[in-house]
Structure 1
Amino acid sequence: MNSRLLTLASGTFAIGIDAFVTAGLVAPLSKDLHVSTSAAGQLVTVFALSYAVLSPLLGTATATLSRKHVLLIALSVFVLGNIVTALASSFTLVLASRVIAAAGASMYTPNASAVAAALSPPERRGRAIAVVVGGLTVATALGVPLGSWIGGAFSWRATLWMVAGLGLVALAGVALIVPAVHLPTPARLRERLRPLRDRVVATTLLHTVLLFGGMFTAYTYLGPILHHATGGSAGTFSLLLWVYGIMAFTGSTLSGRLVDRIGPQRVLPLTLVANIVILAAAPLAGHAFVTALIWIMCFGLPGWIWAVAQQHRLVELAPRDTPLLLGLNASAQYFGTALGGAVGGLGLQWWGAGSLGWIGAVLVLGALGLLTVSLRTARHRKAAAATIPGTTATPATQPAA
């Protein structure tokens, strides 16, 4: 079991580096491709928006395949996209290649989480999902700082070759170790989007969009936010990214047991409040290296605890629709990432780096409001169902009135 979960996590590790390392490559990318910092940051937006849009479309196209075959196809496309990026000679081609890489990532991540949940007993499902999500956090702890350093010391293209190589390793591991798993998935796009008709599911996923929008408003442009504290040093900035990643890995590791013990309904609002406070304090982070270090440690923790709690809650909402809901949640995350990259780019251009934390905090405050509505509606629905003999509340499968 552990070898299977770790193999699945190796794929999310490669994808995590690809998705998050742009924050450390904005400077060398913009210099090499002769574009502005804000324009280079839009590579995050293009990757994330492509992921969000393509995830349900490609999920529909691969609905009849075993999840193992989907994982193998996904990693192959992902590797191809990164090879094209590494070889691209123009910013336009780099943007196009990000769409290819995002297509592979959009098929892999939700299916890896769904397979992990399917291979695990219910009482250990939170920890199994945490292992797969842990691939992303290990990427932030080790891969992103390393990729950022390689991009600054050698070339951003070398970082993309590294990502492609890691993708190939994951591809071989999945082919050899992960068993064929068949999970019920809708064959039509309309069926895949059906849960969005439900108020509980819709508000739950919309709060995902706003949380990731708030986080990536700051994360995408960490370089400008922390420029004064790092003195523009790629090595110092890579060190701060490493600290962020260590805290993210810590949060993801602890979150599985925390969610299994007290439940996602308690974990989710606490992590959102923590994110609001930390983002609001972002303008203080750039004053000196010490303040940047303290702030980045705090920034790396609650969001990754939230990620596991959110996936666990979606599994609880409708266990039979786990792949469907996790796929929609992944799309929501990347819609949020695209929102953060776009809004952050505008904020950076109009008001400067000092505004990005406040913009992010406002978005996460909206996420907290939506989560409150979602939890309250789910409680009322469950209470109403309890008064009717033989009735159970399954939000993801009952359309809203």
Structure 2
Amino acid sequence: MLIPILSLGNFAIGMGVFVAIGLIGPLSDAFSLDDGTAGLILTIYAVSYAIGSPLLVALTGHLARRTVMITGLGIFGVSAAVIAMAPSAEILLAARAMSAFGAGLFTPITAGVAASISARGKEGKALATVFAGLTFAQVLGVPAGTWIGYQFGWETSFWVVAILSAICLLGIIRYVPRDLPFQASNFSTLAGVLRDWRALMVILFTATFLAGIYVVYTYLGLLLESRMGYSRDGVTSIFALFGAGAVAGNFLGGWLADRAGPVPTLTMLCIAQAVLMPGFALLPMDAMALFALMLLWAIFGWSFVAGQQIRVVRANPERATVALALNAAAIYIGAALGSTIGGHIITLQGLDALGIGGALVAVLALVHLLGSERLARG
């Protein structure tokens, strides 16, 4: 029962994080943000997570895993309620930062627990199951939250996230044992990981890979509205399709990582991203062609999770918990980089150039992967 409960908690986290992307249009209107600065809604979260998660995980490294997870999910749920009541853009962004701190405590701990209770060769399956919550949030939570936001107001979506977080919190309290074994950590552990630059390069691949995706994904709602003419139902359906692909990719990635190995899997995914993303420069296109593009892009994007986490754990076997926290932080460094790059691309070249920019970053990610692997083995 432990792994499904951890996955359920990640579902609440994933919905709260990513529903803002589906609602970036209504949020921009509500707080008078232009297209180039709307990415701050994600960037603030990403930067706060990237800085806060490793520090908070190290700070709480001596506490029981159950206590840390309860604290993190509780902070996240409260912050969702604050977002729903935010009277200004400043309060909205401050609450997004607070939610990042809560998620930064919760999600890396779930990865560390899953890795620690899994036999070698089975880590991919366990990690894929735990992180299935994040991907199911995209196939179910984000489209539902987007539809609710367009239908009843964006505030309602974040109230739903707050309520869902409270329900998941009760599940953690009820089902997670108090005496879970764990690898204690502190600031010395964090410093040790940061000093090992070869292992750090392995971790930072997560940032470069996801930066390419978020060049496009952050502004997907705006792209669909302006180039495809989609409104509530159209945007919701595309995010639902992306979520379905993400779920499939999550499990496919775990299977491939256990069988083909993490590096061959990640190499193939970088190439696929570089090939697929230029398709977004061709909008508008036939709806079926767009559906196919979105599905493949999601599958080959979210297949990276298990393989990369296996690389991180194997590169840092003595400091796995903190290394996974840094890896989770790298997810949001990548999101922040991607959304920032995308914002500049929009300002300089317009929405149509996002796909080309994302593809170029995917090529950089491939170079990073092969280089970091060579360094780690050297």
Q: Is the 8 Å Cα contact of residues 202 and 376 (structure 2) preserved in structure 1?
A: no
CA distance in 1, matches of 2:101, 2:284: 35
Aligned position for 1:187: 186
In the other structure, the counterpart of 1:69 is 67
Q: CA contact under 8 A between 1:226 and 1:292: conserved in structure 2?
A: no
CA contact (8 A) 1:79 1:168 kept: yes
Q: Percent identity, aligned pairs only?
A: 35
Change beyond 3 A, Cα 1:168–1:35: same
User: Does structure 1 retain, via aligned residues, the 8 Å contact 2:58–2:322?
Assistant: no
Structure 1, unaligned runs of 5 or more: 382-401
1:228 Cα offset (Å) = 4.9
CA contact (8 A) 2:41 2:96 kept: yes
Aligned-residue Cα RMSD (Å) equals 1.5
Equivalent residue runs for 1:215-234 within 5 Å? 215-228=213-226, 230-234=228-232
Opposite residue 104 of structure 2, the aligned amino acid is S
Partners in 1 of 2:255 and 2:34 — Cα distance? Answer: 43
Q: 1:233-272 to 2 correspondence within 5 Å? A: 233-272=231-270
> Which secondary structure does the structure 2 equivalent of 1:38 belong to?
coil
Asked if 1 retains the 8 angstrom alpha-carbon contact of 2:15 and 2:142, the reply is: yes
Deviation at 1:49, TM superposition (A): 0.6
8 A contact 2:272–2:300 mirrored in 1 = yes
Matches within 5 A, 1:268-347: 268-347=266-345
Q: Number of aligned pairs?
A: 377
Residue among 69, 94, 107 paired with 2:92: 94
CA contact (8 A) 1:285 1:291 kept: no
- Hey, what's the Cα distance between the residues in 2 that align with 1:285 and 1:31? 24
Runs of 4+ in 1 over 4 A off after TM superposition: none
2:124 to 103, 123, 126: 126
CA distance in structure 2 between the partners assigned to 1:26 and 1:360 by the alignment: 19
Question: CA-to-partner distance for each residue in 1:126-180, whole Å, 9 max, x for gaps?
Answer: 1110011111110111111111111111111111011111111111111111123
1:36 paired to 2:34: yes
Query: Which has the larger Rg?
Result: 1
Change (3 A) 1:183 1:138: same
8 Å contact 2:189–2:322 — kept in the other structure?
no
Amino acid at match of 1:151: G
Q: Say if 2:205 and 2:365, in contact at 8 Å, map to a contact too.
A: yes
348-357 or 130-139, which moves further after superposition?
348-357
User: Aligned runs of 1:39-188 on 2, under 5 Å?
Assistant: 39-179=37-177, 180-188=179-187
Q: Measure, in 2, the Cα distance between the counterparts of 1:279 and 1:198.
A: 33
Asked if the contact 1:22–1:41 (Cα under 8 Å) also holds between the matched residues in 2, the reply is no
Say if 1:47 and 1:102, in contact at 8 Å, map to a contact too: yes
Residues 234-284 of structure 1: per-residue CA shift (max 9 Å, x gap): 101110111111011001122222211121121111111111111222212
1:393 equivalent in structure 2: none
Deviations 1:24-69 (A, max 9, x none): 1011111122222333321100011100000111112211101111
Equivalent residue, structure 2, for 1:355: 353
SS at match of 1:281: helix
Counterpart contact for 1:195–1:201, Cα < 8 Å: yes
Superposed displacement of residue 224, structure 1 = 2.5
Q: Which moved more, 1:237-246 or 1:309-318?
A: 309-318
Shift of 1:199: 3.8
Deviates more, 1:86-95 or 1:360-369: 360-369
CA drift at 1:4? 1.1
SS of the residue corresponding to residue 122 of structure 2 reads helix
> Whole-Å Cα distance in 1 between the matches of residues 120 and 163 of structure 2?
34
Summarize deviations over 1:188-238 as a string: whole Å, max 9, x none. 2x5303223334312222222111111111001002222355413210111
Match of 1:364 in 2: 362
Cα pair 1:207 1:367 within 8 Å, conserved: yes
Per the normalisation by structure 1, the TM-score is: 0.90
How many Å separate the matches in 2 of 1:113 and 1:206? 17
Whole-Å Cα distance in 1 between the matches of residues 105 and 86 of structure 2?
24
